[in-house]
Chains A and B, each alone.
Chain A
Amino acid sequence: MYYDFYLYYLSYLSSLYNGYPLIIRMTLVMVMVLAVITLCGILRLLFIGYKINKEERRKNKTKQHFEEKLDFVMRNKANYDVEEIQALLDYDASKAKKWKLELVTDLVLSVKNTVDRVSSLNVINYKNCLEALGLTRFWEKRMRVTGIDRRREVLQIVGEIDNGVNSGVLSKSTFHKDIQLRKTARDLYTSQDTYNPFRFMEENFDEAFTQLDKLRLHATLIKKSNEGKLPNLLRWINNSKNPNYIIFVLREIGFFKQYEASTTLLTLLDKQENKDVRAQIVITLGELDYFECAPVLIERFALENSSVREAIIRALGNLKDEQTLTFLVETYQSTEDVNIKLLVARSIKCHGEKGQQMLNQLKEDARSAAKEKENVLLDQVFSENIFVSA
């Protein structure tokens, strides 16, 4: 619209510097670019400030209107219908704007988490609240948004709402080329699907599997185990070649105490070539109190590399019997490696009263042989009882 106007002043400006060298004219352009950046920066700052203040005002208003009522409904032992809740909240979901529904969701989740923490949450009322406020429909619709980062955020909110998910809508994201979005969608699927929730767990979950994924999936598996018994997790290892994923599954087997996996785990020890996987198998066997594996572990000790050896020492600390204690004492006496000595001494201490007696004996030996350093090391292990460690 003002094209001619701008062109006129641009021509005027360039005519001023017409006779000057190229470098001066280039600088002029740079100065103008930087001036525009500076101006836009100031305007952007003012706009962001305005937006934040507006959002804060809206947040406070929403909180004032809903918080107490939501808290009352979610805490109440009596069940309320959707209509009753709508009347109580004095709210028409059909007319609500997008920002309002986002703020209400935040508030509902915050009240839910607080109630869940301090008293018992009425799940029926919570779900009816979601229905009365039109949140389930709203977020399902939002799951179709195109922006990757935004969609990922939406999926996380849907997971936090924890009220089921439409697998059809989700499938668009579970095979998306963006790794983060895909993994979030698969985690949500595992957490919310009721028909075949462990589909992705059986398929190696994802090729890019990080520690954060382990953490998120661990939370999902705990949720699933609270809803019902988990399947034998060992079967997920068979289809996987990703050591990180295998290690995760092995850890979960130990955490959920799936004792039925013990025998197979011992046979896996021979097949696995990856040392980290072997170390985790050993630790899991220890956590599962599988005493039958002790002779095998003792036999393998001399052949294994240092990380598996350390795992064996830790596992033998859990498997408390005469044979493992004798082995640990022998290992302590035969090794010169301080780190191994410390680990072994701690494992001996795990053997209760007998272990304590053995440590006393070792300490006596060290004193009589004037082994000053060993004395300090054993004193350190003894004092770990008294001084609580982090």
Chain B
Amino acid sequence: MVYFFTYLIYFYATTLAIFYIALLVMSYFKTIRYRYSYTKRDENYLINFPEEAPGISIVAPAFNEEVIISDSVNSLLNLDYPTFEVIIVNDGSKDRTLAILIEEFELEEVPYYYVYKVYCRPVHRILRSKNPAYSKLIVVDKENGGTKADAMNAGVNMAQYQYFINTDVDCILAKDTLSKIILPVLDSEQHVIAVGATMRMVNSCSIDKGQITRVRPPKGLIPLFQETEYLRSYLVAKMGWSMLNAIPNVSGGFGLFDTQVVVSAGGFDSASHAEDMDMTVRMVAYMRENRKKYKIAQCPYSLCWTEGPPNIKVLNRQRTRWGRGMLQFIIDHRKFFLNKDYGRLGFLVMPYIVFFEFLAPIIEFTGFLFLLFLLFTHQVNFDTFWMMLLYAYLIGLSVSIITVSYDLVLNKLYKNFWEYLKLVLFSAFEAIIYHPLVVVFTLRGYIQYLTKRNFKWGQMTRQGFSPSKNANTANNNV
């Protein structure tokens, strides 16, 4: 039994290492190819020839976001792209979110024949502005649905363009986001159903009028670790998977989706705790079931900055929710697992999610308990123990370092080179300080789901984007 479990953990770690090395290689080639494929010239075409630029709807739900709503909407309205609309879904906010929107953007109720293409809680009214400066803004005022998915559906029903962006109001988008994210769609011979892009932490960045003026690595320890974790996830894992057209998840923080496919697949699932992964997989399943060819692309550039959990308490809430979502997702979509009718989804994406995302915290935690047992019963061979430990440690560290170098090659966002070294230095401690916390919180999420406890959406203290507003904080949904 002891031998079996030791070998199980060993081969698990080795398979994971091989997977990551393969993803590193694939993402390298994919990133280099991507960098050469699209130039600033292509982006300028979209701006200079608006008649050829496909329209994009930006959908951002807001629930009790009075601290950041004004900056966030201004930031979205000032993106560099000729044809887009910003749909803010006020999900029954109890604070001044809607009042601020009405005052600042001179909104008025407009008659609108609202069609419920996908299910959502009732929509009270649609608001628009007579001021041409805010002509791109649409506010959907609806009854609170309790989840982001419900609010997203209300926005999707309103979206008039072929593609929409799923984002949050606490996210800041780069000015050239839309022209960068649409290029893989335009350049594909296959139907692109979704595009993801790199997200990073906004925590220590300087922001002026809703635009990032200076990118910095986060000062806080937790968001700093999360910055490296995000880069690894987007630049290595998702870029690598995109080479096989097998991206498991287009992030809920920022992603471009085909409106019609989302509607046909039934929209976002309000009952899901991982609505982004759930939506991505259902879109793929819809395309497979209808024998349509599809592609999910990944843009390596950093296009979205989001506020990361500033402390362990908030990280706990976030990861517990993700854990619940993961378990729920696997149970809900178990029929895809190793199902030949779903091709890559059944034989690559689902096994990867089950074995390397869902089981990872369980194996790591039981492995740790097992190690304690071996230490207690004096069964540890210290001649090889340190080597095994170093092996597990180096898997994570090497991937992190290479990820940071990929990021630097793509675009030097931090002004100072030492800031990149800071990321590398702290990634050396990630396995010791940050990762054990993530494992415990994720397991807590699994237990919560299994014990069917009442779930509350995590509260997160908003810092606000404008320095003047930093003093005023409010409790809002994560």
Contacts and interface: CB of A to CB of B under 8 A. Distances in A.
Given A42-B401, A380-B113, A210 B186 contact: yes
B49 A45 contact: no
A35 interface: yes
Contacts of B33: 149
Contact of B186 (A38, A152, A212, A388): A212
B268 interface: no
A156 B43 CA distance: 13
Given A34-B394, A34-B395, A41-B398, A53 B186 contact: no
B interface SS class? helix
Given A219-B48, A380-B111, A152 B36 contact: yes
A208 B51 CA distance: 22
A293 interface: no
B408 A219 contact: no
Interface stretch (B283-291, B324-332, B383-391, B439-447): B383-391
Interface string A130-162: 000000000000000000011011001001100
A45 B408 contact: yes
A interface SS class? helix
B113 A377 contact: yes
B183 to A, nearest CB: 7
Most buried by A among B7, B55, B84, B420: B420
A380 B32 contact: no
A49 B388 CA distance: 33
A31 to B, nearest CB: 5
A11 interface: no
Given A24-B384, A37-B402, A45 B420 contact: yes
Interface in B382-436: 384, 387-388, 390-391, 394-395, 397-398, 401-402, 404-405, 408-409, 412, 417, 420-421, 424
Given A41-B405, A210-B189, A383-B111, A27 B398 contact: no
B41 A156 contact: yes
B387 A27 contact: yes
Interface in A249-266: 255
A9 to B, nearest CB: 17
A342 interface: yes
Contact of B135 (A53, A222, A389): A389
A214 B391 contact: no
A215 interface: yes
B420 A49 contact: yes
Contact of A390 (B136, B387, B398): B136
Range class of the B interface residue count: 35 or more
Nearest to B35: A149
B113 A30 contact: no
Contacts of A24: 384, 387
A156 B37 CA distance: 10
Interface residues of A, number: 52
B404 A338 contact: no
Nearest to B83: A390
Nearest to A382: B111
B235 to A, nearest CB: 13
Contacts of A180: 37
B46 interface: yes
Contacts of B32: 149
A53 B52 contact: no
B113 A338 contact: yes
Given A149-B32, A373-B113, A387-B128, A20 B48 contact: no
A49 B408 CA distance: 8
Contacts of B402: 37, 41, 44
Given A153-B36, A156-B39, A215 B52 contact: yes
Nearest to A218: B52
B424 A42 contact: yes
B394 A38 contact: yes
Interface string B264-298: 00000000000000000000000000000000000
Interface in A224-278: 255
Most buried by B among A34, A150, A216: A34
A41 B428 CA distance: 13
Interface in A262-317: none
A24 B130 CA distance: 72
A212 B183 contact: yes
Interface in A359-383: 373, 376-377, 379-380, 382-383
Contacts of B10: 23, 27
A28 interface: yes
Nearest to B423: A45
B49 A215 contact: yes
Nearest to B127: A387
B185 A45 contact: no
Given A159-B41, A338-B115, 14 more contacts: A23-B7, A30-B14, A34-B398, A38-B398, A38-B401, A49-B408, A52-B408, A153-B36, A210-B189, A212-B187, A380-B110, A386-B130, A387-B110, A389-B135
9 contacts: A24-B387, A28-B387, A34-B398, A37-B402, A41-B398, A49-B420, A149-B36, A380-B111, A390-B85
Interface of B: 7, 10, 14, 17, 32-33, 36-37, 39, 41-42, 45-46, 48-49, 51-52, 54-55, 83-85, 108, 110-113, 115, 128-130, 132, 135-136, 138, 160, 183, 185-189, 384, 387-388, 390-391, 394-395, 397-398, 401-402, 404-405, 408-409, 412, 417, 420-421, 424
Interface of A: 20, 23-24, 27-28, 30-31, 34-35, 37-38, 41-42, 44-45, 48-49, 52-53, 149-150, 152-153, 156, 159-160, 180, 208, 210-212, 214-216, 218-219, 222, 255, 338, 342, 373, 376-377, 379-380, 382-383, 386-390
8 closest A-B pairs by CB: A379-B111, A41-B401, A34-B394, A388-B135, A390-B85, A149-B36, A211-B186, A212-B186
